[in-house]
Structure 1
Amino acid sequence: MQSRIPRQSALEHGTHRADNDAGLSDELASVVGGARRRAVRDGDRQVDTAHLLHSLLESDPETRAVVGDGPQLARLLGYLVQRSIGYGLRWQSGVEDSGSVPVVSGSTGYSPLAAAAMECACVRAAGREGPARGTDLLAAILADPQARAVEVLARAGIDPRAVFARLDDRSGVNQECGEAGR
């Protein structure tokens, strides 16, 4: 019997992935691994910001605390689960892109926005002289209003700008990456 779960390409197992994961804490590397598995399971060609957000919320208590709790968090997780079983079908054919980052067609790995968020998380962490953590990645994701994760947060009734402000208040680091912090 053949597995219904698509296999990751050799490129996704090679140095391209290892280079993107340099500078991440062990916990965040685990989150990224979870997002990759979710993307493969969902049949998506790339890890996008919604995959990253979903994995962050499942794995990182600090991220959950910043996003909030109660009914809004439950609704957010519900939207993310629905996306993995069909809610995001309209996104599967396209590449997540805000237009500020060149799109590489046919690539595997991260969407342009997710790749930019990963880089920005490392820049934010450099301000602390440590590895990137979940809250660094969350701030980087929220910095682009075109990110799918931002859309999902808004649909769940969570103001992405308010979450971003709480992150900056908590960290004391107001690092901007490219057009971050809009």
Structure 2
Amino acid sequence: MALRATIFKLELHIADMVRGYYDSHALTLARHPSETDERMMMRVLAFSLLADEHLAFTRGLSTTDEPALWRKDLTGAVLAWVELGHPDERRLLQASGKADQVVVFCYGGPASQVWWQGARQGLERIRNLSVYSVRPEAVRELAGLAQRSMTLHVTIEEGMAMVSSDSGSVMAEIETWR
């Protein structure tokens, strides 16, 4: 028998001082059996950093032709394609043709640096690509906040995201690589 996704209910309150975005979102996250709490919470952090009314979680790990998150307009055109980790160069090239904006959030520390050093030159031609990095220690701390039912408050200022809940808070530095 196949394992089923674990469902998480999230009340997310975002105060983004950089973009002037202040809103709350009631979200349901399905965590694939092979997905870690770290990756799931990176999806939440990425959502917080890019939040708007059309940003949505995709089927994620259960399908290979969708990113972790995307933003579509009312016609179905992809405005933003958001990947986590170390996506393949070919995947990012294809995404850049499908979306107005492609965003990658790395969270693997030294492994992410190695990936970026190897991929940077090949990705230079993608004009609509942004790459960010979050320290693995911060991601582990974020994973410690994960609960089946959670309320998170995220405050975003220049290069920092403070994520807090009843069980603690985490300061995550968002480093811009491109």
TM-score (norm. length: structure 2): 0.29
- Which of 1 and 2 has higher RCO (CA within 8 Å, sep 6+)? 1
Which structure has the highest helix share of the two? 1
Larger strand fraction of residues:
2
Give the TM-score normalised by structure 1. Answer: 0.29
